Amino acid sequence: MSDTYVECLVKAKDPVVLKFLKYVLYGLVALCVIGMFLNPILFFAALILGVVAYFVSMYCDSEYEYLYLDREITVDKVLAKTKRKRVATFNVDRMEILAPMNSYHLDGFKNRDVKSVDYSAGQTQPESRYVMYYEGGQKVLLTPNEDMIKAIRNVAPRKVFMD
């Protein structure tokens, strides 16, 4: 059995609301630290706001890592380059189709009412996201590189399109 290994790391688009919240929390922490000399209770407020700001900033800096190994696609979410969490595993044999977002091959799948999950980099120009329909009940958005698409296509040539 040939073990093909391809890894791809994609920076996820940061939510605007979380970015705004992160900077607001940093400002509040700074104000509490300055005001701490007038009122000692503000030390605890600064400590609590600092912890909340830390966790919000972790979720602002997130990446997705795609790993293809032995007919299996694994998606991990990496938070702030320190914490890794496995979010999904997909078997290529159970995949129905993998095609670019604007491909005509997806026309037969457009009217399906399926659960959609987004593990992509967000809106990119030009469009580089791929859509994968998995087991008939799940639509997955990915942003794989060309090497990963070629490796999956070698295993399932009738299910993977690169147009």
pLDDT in tens, 122-136: 877 778 899 999 998
pLDDT at 140 over 60: yes
pLDDT in tens, 50-72: 999 999 988 888 899 999 998 99
First to last CA, the chain: 29
Tell me which residue of 82, 81, 64 sits closest to 73, measured CA to CA. Answer: 64
Here the tokens at position 122 are: 């967000």
Integer Cα distance of 27 and 29 in angstroms: 5
What pLDDT band is residue 2 in, cutting at 50, 70 and 90? low
Give the three-class secondary structure for 34.
helix
Mean pLDDT taken over the chain: 90
pLDDT in tens, 70-98: 899 999 999 988 899 999 999 999 999 99
pTM over 0.75: yes
Hey, which residues does 75 pair with through a beta bridge?
A: 66, 88
